[in-house]
Amino acid sequence: MIIAVDGPAASGKGTIARALARHYGLPHLDTGLLYRAVAATVLRDELDPAQEADAVAATSFDDLLLADEWLRTDEVGKAASVSAHPLVRSALLQRQKRFAMQPNGAILDGRDIGTVIAPDADAKLFVKATPMIRARRRHAELQKCGSTVSLDRVLSDIRARDDRDSTREQAPLVAAPDAAVLDTSFLSVESAIQKAIALVEAQLARKRTTT
């Protein structure tokens, strides 16, 4: 069973994907971390994220890096614009497809799971929330880590990231036509998780009756 969870920054897709992984006992991959690992490697090697060749060279990053907290910082998040390079996306494609094809299945979250990585997924969710609510969530997380960045700044970064992810030519952020859309704007974490499970169950039931 493959479950695809897509959505913009701070929509809650990671929280939902982790909860679904626990609920169904499936392995989970946060694909954003792969792009962040490429970005971190480019920064560490003092290369230029805007140069496709520099970013492609960084796709053979050391897997140990995936556990590094540095990957979750804003600095690395900005350099994750390496995701717009088509050759970076194709270099990371097989790794994500392999993860999805594990014997019992898998849950992947990102931007293009339901559209590109696993277009035949058994269930697809597109998680969204308003930019202001997403900015408030991100701002609260940053404050917890001691950051003094303003809410306005976080909001403009979120808008810039949305714009960058939605307008790139290859694998833009868009809901797959067969994805169930889940707006978490006014949902608690717990209710968002319950709704996500109900939406997945409905898709699985529909699939069972048509096959």
User: Dihedrals φ, ψ of 187, to 5°?
Assistant: -110, 140
In b/e form, how buried is each residue of 73-110, taking b as 16+ CB within 10 angstroms?
Answer: beebbebbbbbbbeebbebbeeebeebbeeeebbbbbb
Query: Was 11 annotated as part of a binding site?
Result: yes
User: Smaller CB distance to ligand CDP: residue 143 or 206?
Assistant: 143
Query: Was 27 annotated as part of a binding site?
Result: no
Sheet with strand 2-6: strands edge to edge:
28-30, 106-110, 2-6, 123-128, 180-183
Q: Six-digit token pair at 210?
A: 């048509």
- Cα separation, 159 vs 165, in Å, equals 10
Site residues for ligand CDP, 146-205, by CB under 6 A, read 161, 165, 184, 187-189, 192
For the bound state, the minimum distance from the C-beta of residue 161 to ligand CDP, rounded and expressed in Å, comes to 5
- Cα separation, 22 vs 127, in Å, equals 18
Site residues for ligand CDP, 44-73, by CB under 6 A, read none
Contact call for residues 188 and 15 (beta carbons, < 8 A): no
For the bound state, the minimum distance from the C-beta of residue 138 to ligand CDP, rounded and expressed in Å, comes to 7
- Stretch of residues binding ligand CDP (CB under 6 A), selected from 5-13, 56-64, 149-157, 198-206: 5-13
By the rule CB under 6 A, 10 interacts with ligand CDP: yes
User: Smaller CB distance to ligand CDP: residue 26 or 80?
Assistant: 80
Q: Name which position in 2, 3, 4, 13 contacts ligand CDP (CB under 6 A).
A: 13
For the bound state, the minimum distance from the C-beta of residue 66 to ligand CDP, rounded and expressed in Å, comes to 12
By the rule CB under 6 A, 135 interacts with ligand CDP: no
Who's near 90: CB < 8 A, 6+ residues apart? none
- Cα separation, 5 vs 26, in Å, equals 14
* Per-residue x/- track, 97-126, ligand CDP (CB under 6 A): -------------xxx--------------
Contact call for residues 138 and 154 (beta carbons, < 8 A): yes
- Cα separation, 187 vs 137, in Å, equals 12
Query: Was 105 annotated as part of a binding site?
Result: no
For the bound state, the minimum distance from the C-beta of residue 189 to ligand CDP, rounded and expressed in Å, comes to 5
Q: Which residues bind ligand CDP (CB under 6 A)?
A: 7, 9-15, 31-32, 35-36, 77, 80, 83, 110-112, 137, 141, 161, 165, 184, 187-189, 192
Would you list which residues are annotated within the binding site for ATP?
7-15
